[in-house]
Amino acid sequence: MTEFYDALETRSTDERESALFEALPDQIALAKADAGAFGRSLAEVDPAAVTDRAALAKLPVLRKSELIDLQQADPPFASLISTPKGELRRVFASPGPIYDPEGWDNDWWRIARALFAAGFRRGELMHNCFSYHFTPGGVMFETGAHALGCPVFPAGVGNTESQAKAIADLRPTCYGGTPSFLKIILEKAEEMGLDHSSLTKACVSGEALLPPLRQGLKDLGVETTQCYATADLGLIAYETAARAGLVVDEAVIVEIVRPGTGDPVAPGEVGEVVVTSFNADYPLIRFATGDLSAALEGASPCGRTNMRLKGWMGRADQTTKIKGMFVHPRQVADVAKRHPEVLRARLVVDKAGEADLITLNVECASSDPALAAAIRDSFQSLCKLKAEVAFHAPGSLPNDGIVIQDKRA
């Protein structure tokens, strides 16, 4: 194959769903048996019954924001890994700190698929500017490149002049790292009069690739493709030559849920990215990344058939302090659940002089004053604060994944 990494990328939706959900019960059983924390949270779950998305959506969500406390209480991995620490290949620390394991499988983070989609091919040298210190970014991209048969220059971060000199001397074809650092290196090479023309393609991650930056890199001779990966899950989704959203990796199940809950949103609605992985060493079930995105309709024009994500659209953790009280997105969702008439809710906090002004905006076909009073009572009961209720027509609130909007800043 020259166009696709493997045949998995062009399966029908039915084939893919059937394969993933046929494998899922065994993965849940593994997590229950070998990862003690999941043994407790999934104690009442029969793995054999989790065979479709509706059943998966009933399982509890593990939020990335909870990992720090869990790991501090039960170091280093909070009993979430199924492989003993002494049998791992490497251990990393991400900011928090959050400790991340790596097992021995080839391309453990599955980055090769994203590199292939970016045009990397066997024998092409990759200039790797992800960090090799503490965090796994450098190793994630290096092992992906090795799985493709690409040699790697482990450049790491910093030393801009040395980076530019190495590109001129080594003549790499490919780059891995953040897009902003690539632009800095290329501009330094221009300033120093060094030839960087060998570098023609990049797979970037770690920060937003905005259109002006992508165009700036193209003007410097580099076609740039982005991927979405985390140290916990590995590859989640990746861009292709079509530049039409991010195609979900073949080894994960992705759901988009309402922030603060585990409830899937309607197709196209913005919500939090929740991922279930099939990693035997680190079997994360319904892991909430804290990132907002939305599913795009249809398949990619490139021919890959998996679900597509719109891209990174912000952070899902919108916990806000109001009048000395923390209000969480899940509390807003719980208020809405008490009233079936409410289709969607968005809490807006603003200032009126020196006082906080709290308005719960709800999509609802009715604007009955009695319903407004009931919603106010529910909000006060659950959040311990008083709020005004404003009714909006169904579908009129912004589709941006924001449940709590703090306008006071």
Bridge partner list, 277: 252
Output the pTM of the full model. Answer: 0.87
What separation, in Å, do the N-terminal and C-terminal C-alpha atoms of the chain show? 53
State both tokens at 141: 């991209």
Calculate the alpha carbon distances from 35 to 30, 32, 96, 221, 274 in Å.
Answer: 7, 6, 22, 47, 19
- Reported as a pLDDT band with limits 50, 70 and 90, residue 1 is very low
Residue-wise pLDDT tens digits, 114-128 = 999 999 999 999 999
- More confident site: 235 or 98: 235
Q: Which amino acid is residue 24, in one-letter code?
A: L
Cβ(5)–Cβ(118) below 8 Å: no
Helices (H) and strands (E) in the chain, counts: 11, 21
Q: Where is 224: in which H helix or E strand? A: strand 223-230
* pLDDT tens figures, 46-82: 999 999 999 999 999 998 878 888 999 999 999 999 9
> Which residues, 6 or more positions from 167, have their beta carbon under 8 angstroms from its beta carbon?
127, 185, 189, 194, 196, 198, 199
- Summary mean pLDDT of the chain: 94
Tell me the residue type at 65.
Answer: S
Kindly report, residue by residue over 365-395, the tens digit of the pLDDT. Answer: 989 999 999 999 999 999 989 999 999 999 9
pLDDT at 203 over 70: yes
Ramachandran angles phi, psi of 333, nearest 5° = -65, -40
Would you state the pLDDT for residue 321? 84
What pLDDT was estimated at residue 2? 54
Tokens standing for 398?
């912004």
Domains annotated on the chain, with CATH:
13-315 (3.40.50.12780), 320-406 (3.30.300.30)
Per mean pLDDT, which of 23-32, 306-315, 377-386 is the most reliable? 23-32
The rounded distance, in Å, linking the Cα atoms of 136 and 48 is 34
Structure tokens at 23: 């494998």
Proportion of the chain above pLDDT 70, given as a percent: 99
Q: Is 156 helix (H, G, I), strand (E, B) or coil?
A: coil
- Give which of 18, 17, 26 is closest to 48, Cα–Cα: 26
pLDDT number for residue 14: 97
Contact yes or no for 35/283 (Cβ under 8 A): yes
User: Can you give the C-alpha Rg of the chain in angstroms?
Assistant: 23
Q: What is the DSSP letter of 125?
A: P
DSSP assigned state of 126: E
pLDDT tens profile 336-365: 999 999 999 999 999 877 778 999 999 999
Upstream peptide bond of 97 is cis (omega within 30 degrees of 0): yes
pLDDT at 136 over 70: yes
CB-based burial label for 80 (10 Å; 0-12, 13-18, 19+): buried
* pLDDT of 20: 98
